[in-house]
């Protein structure tokens, strides 16, 4: 059936004038004719025209009507398509009772749908085709697939693709590329394999795309096979293929192979250069990438926007702000600066080069600020430690109608983590739930990190357990979170679970070693050290520093020093860890020479380093040196002392018996002293038995931390040691009414890969009879040799016998006795206690070391005590 349409011209009878005072664009007549083009309202009304055209018979040959040209519906639709007017084309196609149009017309409309990315219209066309009964041949099917894939409905496209069995390489490439674009590289590869099996011809596009897929999948062998295959077919003469190969080798970390390909390229195009620069930058070899940029510019090769963007990313990652600025200027001249991706990149460059103001300036000038722009700036604020400002920016972004995506959410979670804002973090968690972002691994990792940094490991754990897929970052975050939140046992047990599932990396080691350190779990630490040696993480400075710290905290100072000496370029953390190690072992002078060594190496101590050296001085009673460092910190290094530094000085004065000086020092502090500061003095009062000052100091402590059990117990101990039993009783009552519980003393020791834990007066250990018998044996021996037990440490107002019994039950004694009974002769006995060692136990440890001729290393909550031949390394400073 043929349908005619009147084609309007400016010279025709009705003087149809386009674009002037028109009422409607076209009219359908009852006989199936169309009058198209704008109808001039003043010349004839629509109904008049309709009447006129209604009289024209269908069978009249076209030539009879000189002034009118009649065209088919197909042609009309195609004409609209050519003009890009999809709306009109669809209108004609969808008119009710329309005659069937040609397959090629459907193709034209589908092409336009694809170009305009109108899935909705495309689907309508597909349904018309279905209902019209037109057979979907290879050509029409291809167009349908093209439309669906271009419009992002890969599933529908695939259904058509599978039905039509097309042999066109283009269509196969389209499908492979379609899946690659949505990240389903596995499906891309499956189609590629099917393509090879079916004998479909492959071309350079196929190789380009497939190489990208194998790179993304990390399928090194398959990618290399493709390389061989394309060489066989001679596709290595195509630049695009070589460029893809370069990218592939960069992605599989074969940097040299990539460079070799580039070297062999005779005709390098801009993409070859860009691929090299971007490859180096993405591999973390930014300097090399920037060198290539310079080489590229010198060679006179063309540069484009992508060149600048890749190079700016390189500047950002290696902090080269001057080159970044030069590129920025160059880009402005080249008029690249109106491009959104460019602006975002340049802004990120300034932000990562610590020039936040530069970033803010670019941001302010940006015409359309996308979520990417906001995220880059928010991350910049967080990097500068301005987490509050970052959170403010986030709200401003939301108010401006910009919807946060997973990147923005991750950045803002990081801000909450740095700020410790659990409340804001929980709000973000709600947003994540409401917007179904829980499946994003970055979001979940950042969420766990936020909870861990805000101290809520329970929340972190529930996120971790609910994660559908966990990566190494997830595990590291949880293990590190447990370590830092005082849950070392949880950290270690999670580490054990982890290594059954995936291979740990250097960061895992740096996360788990502090857990070993805090438990003094030497055997476990050594095991992890072995793991590190086998897996080659020893070249990671963080790992070596953590190992030094672990060995120092597990009492193996010699080993710590040995590893420390092996670090080729020691950083500030390496030195700080070593200084702290010497400090906790009471080796103040060694700590000082390490400090001097560090300065000699040209490193500037930071506030943490000063805490270590002040701590070391205080634990060795080096009062003059301590003062010297306290002044050095302020005068030479311009570091304002924080609470921790004041606490060390107070500790130093208190331990050395300068109690009133300490008291005055606290009163003169420019910052408000906290309970720890007063607590240090209270400890000093206990060591030097100053009950009067203790009462004065305790008032401050109780006011600042009324809920802290430790301080009530401490004052009770001070009273008990002075045998002021009435006051002890009052303190106990005070503790009782407040519902406070004394933290039970507990000691542990490792033997044959097992940790044995002892609690004071606990008889549940299987060897309890032997252990208690041994303790009593030593007690009698000590008495015979004229030793009087330090009864005041028993803290019980009872008769002498009972006090003695209570002393015998102290956990550290039980652990030491267990060590003597179970560890081979000559092996050092290493005991760890959660509280400070008691004076009586300290005496017995000396005695035991002398009688058994073996070393005892006792780590309490404060420091190490090395007992050898009846002498302790602490020399009374504890």
Considering only residues 139 to 198 of the shown chain, the ones binding DNA according to CB under 7 A are 173-174, 177, 180
Which positions from 523 to 542 touch DNA by CB under 7 A, shown as an x/- string? -----------------x-x
Instruction: Name which of residues 380 to 399 contact DNA (CB under 7 A).
Output: 382
Spatial CB neighbours of 141, under 8 Å, sequence gap ≥ 6: 160, 161, 163, 164, 166
Nearer to DNA, 207 or 778 (CB): 207
Closer to DNA by Cβ: residue 183 or 736? 183
Candidates 327-335, 376-384, 731-739, 800-808 — which segment interacts with DNA by CB under 7 A? 376-384
**Residue 347, CA distances (Å) to 312, 316, 343, 355 in order:** 10, 9, 6, 9
| 466-505 binders of DNA (CB under 7 A) | 471-474, 476-477, 480
Please identify, among the stretches 3-11, 367-375, 493-501, 686-694, the one whose residues bind DNA according to the rule CB under 7 A: 367-375
Q: What letter would DSSP give residue 539?
A: G
Positive or negative, the Cα torsion across 474, 476, 477, 478?
positive
Rounded Cα distance between 552 and 536, Å, is: 22
Beta carbon nearer to DNA, 372 or 598: 372
Q: Vertex 609, ends 604 and 615: CA angle to 5°?
A: 145
Does residue 543 interact with DNA by CB under 7 A?
Answer: yes
Minimum CB separation of residue 82 from DNA in Å reads 22
Instruction: Say whether 864 sits in a helix, a strand or coil.
Output: strand
Complex with DNA: residue 486 or 736, whichever CB lies closer: 486
> Rounded CA gap, 172 and 161, in Å?
9
> For DNA, which stretch binds (CB under 7 A), given 260-268, 437-445, 457-465, 588-596?
437-445
Dihedral sign from CA coordinates of 762, 765, 768, 772: negative
Least CB distance from residue 699 to DNA, whole Å? 39
- Is the distance from CB of 707 to CB of 740 less than 8 angstroms? yes
Count residues contacting DNA (CB under 7 A)?
A: 75
Whether 296 contacts 271, CB under 8 Å: no
Q: Does residue 442 bind DNA (CB under 7 A)? A: yes
CA atoms of 767 and 778, how far apart (whole Å): 17
Distance of alpha carbon 729 from alpha carbon 712, whole angstroms: 12
CB of 643 to DNA, least distance (A): 22
Q: Which is nearer to DNA, 207 or 711 (CB)?
A: 207
Nearer to DNA, 378 or 795 (CB): 378
Instruction: Return the exposure string of 28-52: e unless at least 16 CB atoms fall within 10 Å of the residue's CB, then b.
Output: bbeebbbbbbbbbeeebeeeebbee
CB 88, CB 65: distance < 8 Å: no
Work out how close the CB of 249 gets to DNA at its nearest, in angstroms, rounded to a whole number: 12
CB of 279 to DNA, least distance (A): 8
Among residues 240 and 805, whose Cβ is nearest to DNA?
Answer: 240
Interacting residue with DNA among 414, 655, 756, 859 (CB under 7 A): 414
- Asked if 576 touches DNA (CB under 7 A), the answer is no
Report the distance separating Cα 445 and Cα 447, nearest Å.
5
Neighbour tally for 451: CB within 10 Å = 29
CB count, 10 Å around CB of 641? 20
Closer residue to DNA (CB): 74 or 449? 449
- Report in angstroms how near the CB of residue 117 gets to DNA at its nearest: 15
- Choose, by CB under 7 A, the member of 236, 410, 421, 620 that binds DNA: 410
User: CB of 236: closest distance to DNA in angstroms?
Assistant: 12
Q: Minimum CB separation from DNA for residue 173, in Å?
A: 6
Which pair of structure tokens corresponds to residue 426? 């929980």
Work out how close the CB of 598 gets to DNA at its nearest, in angstroms, rounded to a whole number.
Answer: 20
Q: How far is the CB of 362 from DNA (least distance, A)?
A: 12
- For residue 575, the number of C-alpha atoms closer than 13 Å in the C-beta half-sphere is 25
Q: Distance between CA 790 and CA 772 in Å, rounded?
A: 19
Residue identified by tokens 């609209």 is: 80
Q: Which of 282, 422, 487, 572 binds DNA (CB under 7 A)?
A: 282
Rounded to a whole number of angstroms, the minimum distance from the CB of residue 609 to DNA is: 17
Please, what is the minimum distance in Å from the beta carbon of residue 465 to DNA? 17
The only residue of 74, 320, 449, 590 in contact with DNA, by rule CB under 7 A:
449
Q: 293, 283, 290, 217: which is closest to 250 by C-alpha?
A: 283
Type and span of the H or E element at 756: strand 754-759
Contact 443, 406 (CB under 8 A): yes
In DSSP notation, 27-39 reads EE-TTS-EE-SPP
Instruction: Assess 375 for contact with DNA (CB under 7 A).
Output: yes
d(CA 3, CA 314): 63
Q: Which lies closer to DNA via its Cβ, residue 269 or residue 772?
A: 269
| Contact positions with DNA (CB under 7 A) in 742-781 | none
**CB 835, min distance to DNA, A:** 26
Residues paired with residue 357 on neighbouring β-strands, in sequence order: none
Q: CB of residue 512 vs DNA: minimum separation in angstroms?
A: 10
Stretch 700-739 residues interacting with DNA (CB under 7 A):
none
Specify the residue, 293 or 372, whose C-beta has the smaller distance to DNA. Answer: 372
Closest approach of Cβ 681 to DNA, in Å?
A: 32
- Pick the binder of DNA from 340, 637, 643, 755 (CB under 7 A): 340
Distances from the Cα of 432 to the Cαs of 410, 453, 803, in angstroms?
A: 10, 19, 59
Interface stretch with DNA, choices 310-318, 517-525, 735-743, 803-811 (CB under 7 A): 310-318
The residue among 312 and 554 lying less far from DNA, judged by its C-beta, is 312
Nearer Cβ to DNA, position 16 or 192?
192
- Which 60-79 positions form the footprint of DNA (CB under 7 A)? none
**Which CB, 177 or 747, lies closer to DNA?**
177
**Is the CB of residue 578 less than 8 Å from the CB of residue 613?**
no
Q: Which 499-518 positions form the footprint of DNA (CB under 7 A)?
A: 506-508, 510-511, 514
Angstrom CA distances, 658 to 614, 652, 653, 670, 760, stand at: 16, 9, 5, 20, 33
Distance in Å, CB of 790 to DNA, minimum: 40
Q: What CA–CA distance (Å, rounded) separates 573 from 332?
A: 42
Q: Does 625 bind DNA (CB under 7 A)?
A: no
Rule CB under 7 A: which of 289-308 touch DNA?
Answer: 304-307
How does DSSP classify residue 22?
Answer: B
Q: Which one among 274, 485, 620, 654 touches DNA, defined by CB under 7 A? A: 274
What does each C-alpha distance from 764 to 393, 742, 752, 769 come to in angstroms? 58, 20, 20, 10
**Between 223 and 252, how does the x/- string for binding to DNA read (CB under 7 A)?**
----------------xx--xx--x-----
């Amino acid at each position: 059936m043929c349908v005619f349409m009147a084609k309007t011209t400016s010279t025709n009878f009705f003087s149809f004038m386009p674009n002037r005072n028109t009422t409607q664009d076209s009219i359908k007549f009852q006989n199936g004719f169309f009058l198209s083009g704008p109808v001039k309202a003043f010349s004839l009304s629509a109904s008049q025209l309709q009447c006129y055209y209604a009289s024209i018979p269908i069978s009249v040959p076209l030539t009879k009507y000189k002034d009118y040209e009649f065209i088919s519906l197909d042609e009309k639709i195609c004409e609209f398509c050519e003009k890009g007017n999809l709306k009109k084309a669809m209108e004609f196609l969808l008119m009710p009772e329309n005659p069937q149009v040609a397959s090629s017309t459907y193709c034209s409309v589908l092409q336009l749908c694809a170009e305009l990315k109108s899935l909705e219209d495309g689907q309508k066309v597909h349904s018309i085709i279905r209902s019209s009964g037109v057979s979907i041949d290879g050509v029409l099917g291809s167009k349908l697939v093209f439309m669906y894939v271009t419009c992002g409905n890969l599933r529908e496209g695939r259904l058509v693709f599978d039905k039509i069995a097309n042999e066109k390489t283009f269509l196969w490439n389209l499908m492979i590329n379609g899946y690659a674009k949505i990240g389903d590289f596995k499906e891309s590869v499956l189609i590629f394999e099917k393509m090879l099996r079916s004998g479909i011809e492959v071309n350079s596009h196929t190789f380009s795309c497939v190489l990208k897929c194998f790179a993304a999948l990390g399928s090194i062998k398959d990618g290399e096979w493709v390389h061989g295959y394309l060489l066989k077919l001679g596709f290595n003469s195509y630049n695009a293929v070589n460029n893809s190969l370069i990218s592939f080798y960069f992605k599989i970390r074969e940097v040299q192979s990539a460079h070799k390909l580039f070297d062999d390229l005779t005709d390098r195009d801009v993409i070859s250069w860009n691929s090299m620069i971007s490859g180096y930058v993405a591999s973390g070899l930014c300097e090399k990438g920037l060198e290539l940029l310079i080489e590229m510019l010198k060679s006179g090769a063309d540069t484009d926007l992508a060149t600048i963007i890749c190079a700016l990313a390189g500047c950002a990652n290696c902090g080269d702000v001057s080159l970044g600025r030069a590129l920025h200027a160059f880009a402005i001249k080249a008029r690249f600066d109106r491009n959104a991706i460019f602006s975002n990149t340049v802004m990120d460059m300034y932000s990562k080069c610590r020039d936040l103001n530069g970033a803010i300036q670019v941001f302010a000038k940006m015409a359309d600020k996308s979520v990417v722009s906001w995220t880059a700036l928010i991350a910049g604020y967080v990097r500068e430690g301005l987490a509050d400002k970052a959170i403010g920016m986030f709200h401003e972004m939301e108010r401006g109608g910009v919807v946060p995506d997973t990147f923005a959410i991750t950045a803002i979670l990081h801000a909450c983590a740095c700020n410790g804002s659990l409340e804001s973090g929980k709000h973000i968690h709600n947003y994540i739930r409401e917007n179904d972002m829980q499946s994003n691994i970055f979001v979940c990792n950042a969420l766990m990190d936020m909870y861990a940094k805000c101290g809520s490991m329970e929340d972190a754990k529930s996120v971790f357990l609910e994660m559908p897929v966990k990566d190494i970052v997830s595990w590291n975050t949880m293990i590190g979170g447990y370590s830092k939140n005082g849950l070392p046992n949880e950290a270690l047990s999670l580490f054990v679970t982890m290594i059954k599932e995936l291979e740990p990396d250097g960061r895992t080691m740096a996360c788990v070693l502090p857990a070993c350190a805090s438990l003094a779990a030497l055997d476990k630490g050594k095991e992890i050290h072995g793991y590190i040696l086998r897996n080659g993480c020893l070249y990671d400075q963080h790992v070596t520093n953590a190992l030094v710290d672990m060995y120092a905290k597990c009492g193996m100072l010699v080993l710590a020093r040995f590893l420390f000496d092996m670090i080729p370029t020691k950083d500030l953390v390496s030195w700080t860890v070593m200084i702290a190690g010497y400090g906790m072992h009471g080796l103040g002078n060694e700590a000082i020479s390490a400090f001097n060594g560090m300065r000699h190496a040209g490193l500037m101590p930071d506030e943490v380093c000063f805490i270590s050296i002040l701590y070391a001085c205080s634990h060795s009673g080096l009062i003059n040196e301590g003062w010297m460092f306290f002044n050095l910190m302020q005068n030479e290094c311009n570091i304002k002392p924080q609470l921790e530094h004041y606490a060390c000085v107070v500790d130093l004065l208190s331990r050395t018996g300068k109690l009133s000086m300490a008291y005055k020092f606290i009163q003169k502090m420019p910052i408000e002293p906290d309970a720890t500061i007063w607590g240090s003095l209270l400890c000093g009062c206990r060591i030097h038995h100053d009950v009067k000052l203790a009462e004065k100091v305790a008032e401050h402590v109780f006011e600042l931390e009324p809920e802290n059990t430790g301080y009530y117990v401490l004052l009770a101990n001070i009273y008990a040691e002075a045998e002021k039993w009435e006051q002890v009783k009052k303190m106990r009552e005070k503790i009782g009414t407040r519902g406070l519980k004394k933290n039970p003393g507990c000691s542990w020791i490792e033997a044959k890969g097992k940790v044995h834990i002892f609690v004071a007066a606990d008889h549940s250990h299987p060897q309890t009879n032997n252990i208690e018998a041994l303790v009593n044996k030593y007690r009698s021996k000590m008495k015979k040799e004229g030793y009087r037990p330090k009864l005041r440490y028993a803290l019980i107002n009872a008769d002498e016998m009972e006090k003695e019994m209570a002393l015998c039950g102290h956990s550290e004694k039980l652990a030491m006795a267990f060590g003597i009974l179970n560890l081979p002769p000559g092996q050092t006995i290493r005991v760890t206690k959660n509280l400070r060692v008691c004076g009586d136990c300290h005496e017995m440890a000396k005695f035991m070391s002398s009688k058994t001729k073996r070393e005892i290393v006792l780590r309490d909550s404060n420091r190490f005590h090395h007992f050898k031949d009846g002498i302790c390394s602490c020399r009374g400073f504890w």
